[in-house]
Amino acid sequence: IQEPQLQGQDTGMQCEDDRTGIGVETLKRAFLDNLFYVQGKFPALATKHDYYMALAYTVRDRLLQRWVNTAAIYTQEGSRTVAYLSAEFLMGPHLGNNLINLGIYNQVQQAMTELKLDLKELLAKEEEPGLGNGGLGRLAACYLDSLASLEIPTLGYGIRYEFGIFDQLIRNGWQVEKTDKWLRYGNPWEIARPEWAVSVKFGGRTEAHKNAQGRYRVRWIPHKVVLGIPYDTPILGYKVNTANTLRLWKAEAPESFDFEAFNRGNYYGAVDQKVTSENLTKVLYPNDETYEGKQLRLEQQYFFVSCALQDMLRIMLRQKLPLEQFHEKFAVQLNDTHPAIAVAELMRLLLDEHEMDWEPAWEITQKTFGYTNHTLLPEALEKWSLKLFSSLLPRHLEIIYEINWRFLEQVRHKFGTDEGRIGRLSLIDENDGKFVRMAHLACVGSHKINGVAALHSELLQKTTLLDFYEFFPEKFTNITNGVTPRRWIVLSNPKLTNLITSCIGDNWIKHLEDVQRIETYAEDPGFQQEWQQIKRENKVNVAEILLDRTGVKVDPDSLFDIQVKRIHQYKRQHLNILHAITLYNQIKQNPNLDITPRTLIFAGKAAPGYYIAKLIIKLINSVAEVVNKDRDIGDRLKVVFLPDYNVKNSQPIYPAADLSEQISTAGKEASGTGNMKFAMNGALTIGTLDGANIEIRNAVGAENFFLFGLTTEDVGALRLTGYRPREYYEQNPQLKQAIDQIASGYFSHGDRSLFKPLVDLLLDKDPFMLMADYQPYIDCQQQVSQTYRDRDRWLQMSILNTARMGKFSSDRAIREYCQQIWKVQPVPVQLAAEKTGDG
């Protein structure tokens, strides 16, 4: 897709280095060399996986040159650095992305073809690191891509889970979870750095002691110590030499924690301690947007945060920077509250281990951190019981009490003794048992707080964080999310990429605002024809995948109507399925009905303990079973659930969509990022006024967006006046028929009990107001079907959607973080060969 840009060509006159050269002949030679010397295989014995590994190492060699140069320049210049702290990084497969960012996709494809191998097949062999649940983890991955592409010195800090998000199987329509053994065959992208291991303490007690100057300090005597081992993965920017680092920590037992004395003659005890320590980073918690007050989860959070901050202090000491400059060296971003304990941990490190006084330490701490909030859902707001907290982090609790005491003094100073307000702002929740409120700690301990879309930031200020907004309004800002066009257009949709580039050049890949220049082609018949052809080919590709994975045959000429995301009540996959049932009934009642043929595609995982979400998966599959085998329906309607939605499986999906379902209850989806991936690839959106949908609609134009449903204000007002979902059901025959069918066992072989919990929930409480939004949704879908029949109009709308999505590049979002929050500048990296100009 791109031209080679860094090295000379393979002329034969001047031989390229096997580890850095990017000519086709060199790549072939290097690949066979790696197959032999790394995999220990020759072609006759090699498996597809061996070939994948040999190619991965060949690409890694080329990354290492840039990575080492980048590190050298950052060290030499003592560059100000972003530290992005996140419990989740949902990176997706590395190989394809690195080929794009190195600009060697085409050469490698040719090299593989010449070796009689298929690059696509090798790419498919990569096990993706599924170290995240959904939006929050994937956002972190897009941001690392943009940070490197913008040449911003960055360290991503997180956890090297041995098992990532579970693999999803569908058995008899139900979700079944399988452990994700992603490290089973080795990970060619990481390098362990045991020389930079750190110790992390847990439990025990604190005591006062006098230091050398005769001043009282606090000492923490832990109950156990765990080692943190860093594993580094290079993150290359797009067509730059910057390769930043994702540093993930693995927990191990320390040999040195007085093992002999402690466990003399107790070999089993010693092994047991090893097992217990390594449990810490064993598995990712699979809950999306809920927290579980589990001890291990808090241990994971503290573990990686402490490792990260100790690592930053080590870097400062190595660069001989005084600790008073911590906030000048590092801008630390908290990706939600999962790393919020960092506020107390940095204070502890500065106070107890580096003997700083409270006031300067606190000033440094506040200037260091920024906090991004990703959700308003109450069940996601983390709080830890004092009992658990004090048993695990006794020193941090003391520090939090001190932060709280000083903070509430300031509140009293500003607002007087308003006990209600003080109770609402306190870092300690005393309403129903006592808890540490992590969002409050993050707010008080940072200098900027941001939401992830305009509506979300507004609601944060008006509701969830209102009291904090009133106390320090200047801390609050919005940064609307974005996604990287490298993975989500160039890698996922090469045909569209080539069409766009053939018209306007390839500058848009770095500056997505430029894609606007295709607007002039929106009504050009030749361009429309090519646009349509590409969409069709992408749909054929997904049709093959669906047939292969589910056995369902779908018509690529039908309207592909797609909802892919975690399964959640607020995201309302069940509203979508009510539309499917309604279409089904319309056809059954009028078998000759001339409707726009549709294929409804669903994918997404449910948290293993989220019963209703799992029941929604079962309902989708149950409706699919009835609809897909009904001869009266034929090709006019198909419903498919694609199992095991992850980054890899999602990449063909966005380019194949005609319609993107973004139908959350208004006020519930903080931003959404799938909505952006779809629209960039030319899908039209049917959506509510929620999250970033609002900004997408403003950007693409109201006439190019299918809007329906209650607004956030409507939702609030309706709830206040008393919402009676059953009335909508009783007054709407189509809705009543659909619900009655679900209840009567029509989709469950006569089993009336199966979906009863879901039906009862919808008729009695309906917390996400499906009943109120049902008819507007059905009417809007009718509009979609009508519009789809006007081919030229649809194509024009589709082209305009892609053309106007420039704002939603993660490059724009990261530029805003850099200017508004991090105050950090690009540091370009040159390779030695470029500097001297002698190759």
Active-site annotation, residues: 374, 565-566, 571, 673, 677
Place of tokens 């910057």: 242
Q: Which amino acid is residue 584, in one-letter code? A: Y
Q: Return the half-sphere exposure (C-beta side, CA atoms, 13 A cut-off) of residue 85.
A: 31
CB of 824 to ligand 475, least distance (A): 21
Residue 332 backbone dihedrals phi, psi, to 5 degrees: -105, 120
Which residues, including other chains, have CB under 8 Å from residue 167's CB and lie 6 or more apart?
177, 178, 179, 180, 644
Q: Does 85 bind ligand 475 (CB under 6 A)?
A: no
Which token pair is 753?
């009990």
CB of 575 to ligand 475, least distance (A): 17
Q: Does 150 bind ligand 475 (CB under 6 A)?
A: no
DSSP, collapsed to helix, strand or coil, labels residue 169 as: strand
Which token pair is 22?
């990017």
CB of 601 to ligand 475, least distance (A): 20
Question: How far apart are alpha carbons 653 and 677 in whole angstroms?
Answer: 10
Residue among 31 and 166 whose Cβ is closer to ligand 475? 166
467-486 residues in contact with ligand 475 (CB under 6 A) are 481
In the list 96, 130, 134, 655, the residue contacting ligand 475 (rule: CB under 6 A) is: 134
CB of 692 to ligand 475, least distance (A): 7
Q: Does 139 bind ligand 475 (CB under 6 A)?
A: yes
DSSP, collapsed to helix, strand or coil, labels residue 823 as: coil
Q: Does 769 bind ligand 475 (CB under 6 A)?
A: no
210-269 residues in contact with ligand 475 (CB under 6 A) are none
In the list 126, 162, 467, 669, the residue contacting ligand 475 (rule: CB under 6 A) is: 669
CB of 610 to ligand 475, least distance (A): 12
DSSP 512: G
In the list 155, 442, 452, 803, the residue contacting ligand 475 (rule: CB under 6 A) is: 452
CB-based contact 182:130 (threshold 8 Å): yes
Residue 181 backbone dihedrals phi, psi, to 5 degrees: -90, 65
**Interacting span for ligand 475 (CB under 6 A) from 146-154, 227-235, 284-292, 699-707:** 284-292
CB-based contact 384:343 (threshold 8 Å): no
Q: Does 371 bind ligand 475 (CB under 6 A)?
A: no
Place of tokens 């490698």: 108
In the list 108, 243, 342, 380, the residue contacting ligand 475 (rule: CB under 6 A) is: 380
CB of 406 to ligand 475, least distance (A): 28
**Interacting span for ligand 475 (CB under 6 A) from 52-60, 131-139, 227-235, 461-469:** 131-139
Q: Does 130 bind ligand 475 (CB under 6 A)?
A: no
CB-based contact 336:373 (threshold 8 Å): yes
Which candidate, 154, 71, 141, 139, places its Cα nearest to that of 330? 154
CB of 336 to ligand 475, least distance (A): 6
Which candidate, 767, 764, 784, 758, places its Cα nearest to that of 579? 784
CB of 374 to ligand 475, least distance (A): 4
DSSP 282: T
Q: Does 396 bind ligand 475 (CB under 6 A)?
A: no
CB of 45 to ligand 475, least distance (A): 44
**Interacting span for ligand 475 (CB under 6 A) from 240-248, 390-398, 671-679, 772-780:** 671-679
SS3 content of the chain, % helix, strand, coil (to 5): 50, 15, 35
Q: Does 10 bind ligand 475 (CB under 6 A)?
A: no
Q: Does 672 bind ligand 475 (CB under 6 A)?
A: yes
777-796 residues in contact with ligand 475 (CB under 6 A) are none
In the list 126, 145, 299, 336, the residue contacting ligand 475 (rule: CB under 6 A) is: 336
Classify residue 654 as left (phi > 0), alpha (psi -120 to 50) or beta.
alpha
CA distances from 218 to 119, 211, 357, 399 (A): 59, 9, 12, 11
CA distances from 718 to 322, 542, 592, 663, 712 (A): 57, 41, 39, 18, 10
Q: Does 291 bind ligand 475 (CB under 6 A)?
A: yes
Which residues, including other chains, have CB under 8 Å from residue 57's CB and lie 6 or more apart?
34, 38, 188
Residue among 50 and 336 whose Cβ is closer to ligand 475? 336
In the bound state, the residue with its beta carbon closest to ligand 475 is 135
Q: Does 621 bind ligand 475 (CB under 6 A)?
A: no
DSSP, collapsed to helix, strand or coil, labels residue 375 as: coil
In the list 23, 93, 130, 135, the residue contacting ligand 475 (rule: CB under 6 A) is: 135
Q: Does 690 bind ligand 475 (CB under 6 A)?
A: no
**Interacting span for ligand 475 (CB under 6 A) from 37-45, 129-137, 436-444, 519-527:** 129-137
In the shown chain, the binding pattern of residues 339 to 358 toward ligand 475, with x for contact by CB under 6 A and - for none, equals --------------------
Task: Please give the span between the terminal C-alpha atoms of the chain, in angstroms, as a whole number.
Answer: 24
| Length of the chain as a residue count | 839
Q: Does 449 bind ligand 475 (CB under 6 A)?
A: no
The residue count for binding ligand 475 (CB under 6 A) is: 21
Residues interacting with ligand 475, by CB under 6 A? 133-136, 139, 287-289, 291, 336, 374-375, 380, 452, 481, 669-673, 691
